Amino acid sequence: MELNVIRAERTLSLLTNTYLANTDTVKASVGLVLDTVLSQNLFSYMGVAGTTAETAKRYEGAVHKWIARISSLLVGKSSESRMAGILLVKHTTLQSPPIFVENASKWTTSLLNMFGKADVAAVHVAALQLLLVFMDIVREVPELYREIASAQVPRMNQAVLALADKNSELVDTALELLMYSASWFPTLFRPSIDKTETLCLRMLNGSMARASGTTCKRAANCLASLPLVGGKVTVEERWFQYVLQTVGTIETCIDRVMCAEASVANAEARQVMPGMPAFADDFIVSIPQAADRITSMAELLVALLSRPVNVDVPIPVDGLVAVASKLALVPVRVANSKSNRAEFALVPLLAPQLQRAAIRIMAVLAIALGDYMQPFLSAVARAMTAVNTRHLVSATTQVALYSLMQLYVERYGYGFVICLPKELIASAISDLNVQSKRQVSATAGSALSASLSSKKRGGRSRATEVADSEGASNMLQIQYTDVVYSALKTVLALLKHTPTVLNSSLRAQIDGQVLTLLMLEMVGGLSSPAASCSLDARYQVALCQCLEASIMSPDPWQKAVVPHAVSIFSAGLDNPSVAVRNACSAALAAIEPIIHARLPAQLRAPETEKDFEQEYVVPKTIFGSQVSLSAGLDGSAFTEQSEPTRLSAEELHEQEVEEVEEEVEANTKRFKNFSVQPVSTRSMSREKLQLQQQPSATGAKSATSFSPAPAVPTATSAPSGTSMFASSKPAALSTKPAVKPSTDKQQESNDDDEDDDIPDIVMEGSDSEDE
């Protein structure tokens, strides 16, 4: 640590004594000094432990020399020294707020004194930005509030307003400083509220809308922050008054564009912004001025609805939706008008400007109001349809319209789409068909004309060569535009949020176009004008996302696009763009469960007799009913039977054994009836007939003594590792157990009993033939 402090002390001493000592050389060396201050943390060792007292004293001395030197540069005689002092003070403050706390009062006074002197605009802009940094620190430090804020903020506001009146180049920075001052110090800002409002309205009267959109936006944000100041009028009243005045001003401008005079009742009820200059008498000047004022007032509405006011305010939603609809319908009404007024010839030129203002108002309503816009979605849909009029729309307006449509689809889903006309959805899908053309080189064209004009020998081969050269020179060129990108994003929102709205023909059109573009990109047959730029990556990402969304929301009559999508996404993993690779990887991960479907978890049979007993007891204790096992040849599982009385374990076991034996006997008899056996039953050995009857006797014995029967696979005699639900083999096909031979009388009796059941045909390869 001490070594770092020593290094910082030596660096500061070098910069102060060498590069900042002479005022004339500061301009040439200020870049090196700033680079050193920014790259090395030279002001972070004030009061740091781990250093000796002598080292800390030398470091503090170097810091004080630095502060004294930059303070003198701040009040220097030349503009270069003052600019250098402002920059060095700014970065010193950002690196070490404790240094600013010690010198805040002196530096703030120096900056405010600088505003009263004539200087270049760059120095004043840098001074305003430095004051903004100071106020941001002061509002968070209670110790400086009384010393700096209470004493300097009112003076700062007045100085900034006077500076903005004198120099129009400083208006942007001055409006930004006034906006933050009104938000951070509302009580101290009250003496300057009237002058600030006048300054903002002067920028919003239509004079700056076309010249500087940034100035118009900053003036709107500054005016929207004035309700926070309070005073004689509450925050709610001032905010609502601004909204009504803005809406009234827009309606007045619409009447001017339409060359309509408002009725007396509407004119008296309508409120307009104060201080707005009157329209010129010449319509060539007044109608563009009205359109520019509409744009400025739309920016003010956006600022009023988007900036927080920290209180509940009443919002006239119906009036805002109505004024947005009026703006959207102005070009359509003029186009359908039968009047031959010369003023209407200017409206088509101003139609994109008016439509974009309407789009901005509808967008901020969706963002600010949320679900409160549900009752007005049909009106918004009608306004969008009016904006989408093909003979009046521009590319910029189309991009804004598709972005607005995407916003409403994502926010309201089917509630909005059911109000949206199908023509607007079809329009977005049709814009996916990007412009394409064939380019033929000049040499190929000249060769083709020469071959057609001359009929010399070898003409057939010459024509073939020309055709081949023409095919090689042909190249499909796709012109990606912002309209195509916005249409892709809109279609993506429709596929994700409202896929059933798109019918089969629209889905087929989307899939065909997206697959065509992606496959051409994959095989290298696509040449874009910006192929070497990274701008093409966002189009490819949007195409991949559209294809993924189409697969994840399939249509019942949709053609199989999954194989093509898998090949496209697999090829996209080798794309040089990281965004395209990530999109393809995410799409493959989403399609993986579709290609390799997985069954849900299934119930498995117990492996041991102990597991069977546990699986039998648990359902019985839960449901309070008898659970029986059917382990026949059909592989049936547990069946639940409710009985009024419970059986004992021994009776239940006997009942299960009897049921299993009956099933085995029935299956054995059915096997013998349907087996194809050759020739004669008399040749069958009597031992085998006795063996086929043996399981019943053995099963009866096991029911009393609970010993496993060798030939019958009952539930109690299942071996470990075999399934209890597997089909049992008939006794006639099972391995012969060690059975004691019976007497002749028993064989004869068995023979007589079984004569009717055994068929006369003996199966080939039976035991009788083997004997």
pLDDT tens-digit map of 628-684: 444 443 444 444 444 444 555 556 666 766 776 777 677 666 655 544 444 444 444
Q: Is the Cβ–Cβ distance between 715 and 660 less than 8 Å?
A: yes
Residue 716 has pLDDT above 70, yes or no: no
**Strand 526-527, strand 476-478: pairing:** parallel
pLDDT at 144: 83
pLDDT at 444: 40
Render pLDDT for 547-585 as a digit per residue (tens, 0 to 9).
999 998 887 777 788 888 899 999 889 888 899 999 999
Residue 769 has pLDDT above 80, yes or no: no
* Distances in whole angstroms, Cα of residue 184 to Cα of each of 220, 506, 737: 18, 53, 99
Q: Is 399 helix (H, G, I), strand (E, B) or coil?
A: helix
Residue 729 has pLDDT above 70, yes or no: no
> Residue range 356-375: average pLDDT?
94
pLDDT at 275: 83
> Residue range 719-740: average pLDDT?
39
pLDDT at 711: 41
pLDDT at 662: 77
Residue with tokens 């117990």: 606
Please give the Cα distance from 373 to 358 (Å, whole number). Answer: 16
Amino acid at 268: E
Q: Is the Cβ–Cβ distance between 13 and 69 less than 8 Å?
A: no
Percent of the chain residues topping a pLDDT of 90: 33
Among 332, 237, 336, 245, CA closest to 293: 245
pLDDT at 667: 67
Amino acid at 240: F
- Distance of alpha carbon 670 from the chain centroid: 66
* Distances in whole angstroms, Cα of residue 402 to Cα of each of 10, 409, 549: 60, 10, 18
Residue 760 has pLDDT above 70, yes or no: no
Please give the Cα distance from 365 to 362 (Å, whole number). Answer: 5
**Strand 626-629, strand 638-641: pairing:** antiparallel
pLDDT band at 593 (very low <50, low <70, confident <90, very high): confident
In this structure, what token pair is assigned to residue 218? 């900053």
pLDDT at 648: 57
A 10 A CB-CB count for 392 gives 19
A 10 A CB-CB count for 288 gives 18
Q: Is 627 helix (H, G, I), strand (E, B) or coil?
A: strand
> Residue range 715-742: average pLDDT?
39
Among 154, 125, 136, CA closest to 100: 136
Please give the Cα distance from 234 to 627 (Å, whole number). Answer: 76
Q: What is the pTM of this model?
A: 0.70
pLDDT band at 292 (very low <50, low <70, confident <90, very high): very high
Residue with tokens 């009717």: 756
**Strand 436-438, strand 476-478: pairing:** antiparallel
pLDDT band at 746 (very low <50, low <70, confident <90, very high): very low
What is the rounded average pLDDT for all residues in the chain?
76
Backbone angles phi, psi at 628, to 5 degrees: -110, 160
Q: Is the Cβ–Cβ distance between 475 and 515 less than 8 Å?
A: no
Least confident of 313-322, 382-391, 500-509, 645-654: 645-654
Query: 477 - beta bridge partners?
Result: 437, 527
pLDDT band at 181 (very low <50, low <70, confident <90, very high): very high
- CA angle, residues 337, 342, 345, in degrees to nearest 5: 70
Render pLDDT for 235-282 as a digit per residue (tens, 0 to 9).
999 999 999 999 999 999 998 888 877 655 666 678 888 888 888 888
A 10 A CB-CB count for 230 gives 16
Q: Is the Cβ–Cβ distance between 92 and 99 less than 8 Å?
A: yes
Residue 473 has pLDDT above 70, yes or no: no
Q: Is the Cβ–Cβ distance between 164 and 260 less than 8 Å?
A: no
Residue with tokens 């919002």: 315
pLDDT at 161: 93
Residue 166 has pLDDT above 80, yes or no: yes
Query: 438 - beta bridge partners?
Result: 476
DSSP string, 354-397: HHHHHHHHHHHHHHHHGGGGGGGHHHHHHHHHHHT-TTT--HHH
